[in-house]
Structure 1
């Protein structure tokens, strides 16, 4: 289901222009220059939704630069406005309004220290498996963008996507942590929840997670 079009979308995005990375393909390999501290480690969230996760992560880690990617402007505007209102401010957070398939056009190999994928579209139909963000072809792209030792962290509430992803990760980025119940695992204490995660975990839905590290 496509999100409902937001009132005054373009003026609202224009008001947040200082946090949005424009024309990113023309700045390939130089996106970190948009941050006050461009030499800091760079982390990317693919599909940031309404931004609760990435805003809290940026607040807790001021010495890391974060880029939040969201392809749907009607969702992204909520996340960017949340970041604009944050106290204290978030100089270490910027947004990309684009599709993940363009990542190789925006980032150089080994430019990212960590990638987050939270509650992505499971693409239920069998013939759609190559569209899943955790399909091994996509994982190969992420692997190239990660520094040696860099991490990919994945969360979902969909067991079939999790099950599928375990095989895809094993083929490309072997996992060092997997769980079928994140909120009752050893990683629970440091876990930051998304809006979606909060809602479904309150209904008793278990959260599945995979964490992997690039090993050369």
Structure 2
């Protein structure tokens, strides 16, 4: 998702430094200090406009959440969406950063769970190393996660889903669940949707999901 530069993005970020981090390396290993309570920290890599991570923070106040986004304007939109809510979310933070360098921003074992939602499929074979479920990314997630940390992945792209199943299996991960049509399963009862998920499901596209741990 590419969004035009928003002139108001930088001022909004600057005036809300208590909610969004732009220099994650400076607080590596100290993320708990950004939250009101010391609770398990879950991250979404590539949060888009923030619908998923905001609603997760709202639904699960006993957990802490960080939404990560590489585009400044998109991160600012997510921040604005959280500020426009009628309730405060002391368990939610944002990080404007490149999700490909998570070990620069998080200490080993600092994170409880990683969410990957509707990541770029990079369909060409020569680009498979850019897919967020490629083995090099899995190694990064394993490093920043607690022992036996969890990974949840959703997509509308069957090719990426099949690739991800194979990649996680070859890495030695253990599956907790695999759904080929999430919205037509009992798993959907607790499902929190993303913007893309709503769009694709409205078009009749099945949503694929997996849960696994290291």
Interval containing the TM-score (normalised by the shorter chain): over 0.9
Cα distance in 1 for residues equivalent to 2:22 and 2:48: 19
Equivalent residues in 2 for 1:81-160, closer than 5 Å: 81-160=80-159
TM-score with structure 2 length normalisation? Answer: 0.95
Contact 1:24 1:31 in 2 (8 A): no
Other structure's SS at 2:186 match? coil
Counterpart in the other structure of 2:5: 5
What is the number of residues matched between the two proteins?
Answer: 213
CA RMSD, Structure 1 to Structure 2 (Å): 1.3
The Cα of 1:187 is off from its aligned counterpart by 0.7
What is the CA distance between 1:100 and its match in structure 2? 1.2
Q: CA deviation at 1:110?
A: 1.4
**Distance in structure 1 (CA, Å) of the matches to 2:185 and 2:211:** 13
Check whether the contact 2:24–2:97 (CA below 8 A) recurs between aligned residues. no
Normalising by structure 1, report the TM-score. Answer: 0.94
- Structure 1 gaps, min length 5: none
Q: Distance in 2 between matches of 1:158 and 1:31?
A: 33
CA distance in 1 between counterparts of 2:178 and 2:135 reads 17
- 1:66 matched residue in structure 2: 65
CA contact (8 A) 1:135 1:168 kept: yes
CA contact (8 A) 2:45 2:68 kept: yes
Say which is worse superposed, 84-93 or 17-26, in terms of deviation.
17-26
Partner residue of 1:18? 18
Q: Which residue in the other structure is 1:169 paired with? A: 168
- Please tell me whether the aligned partners of residues 16 and 81 of structure 1 are also in contact (alpha carbons under 8 angstroms): no
1:84 offset after TM fit, Å? 1.4
Provide Cα deviations, 1:159-194, integer angstroms capped at 9, x if missing partner.
100010000110222322111101112211011000
3-state secondary structure, aligned to 1:17: coil
Query: Structure 2 unaligned runs (5+)?
Result: none
Contact map agreement 1:113 1:150 (CA 8 A) in 2: yes
Partners of 1:96 and 1:8 lie apart in 2 by 17
Residue in 2 aligned with 1:203? Answer: 203
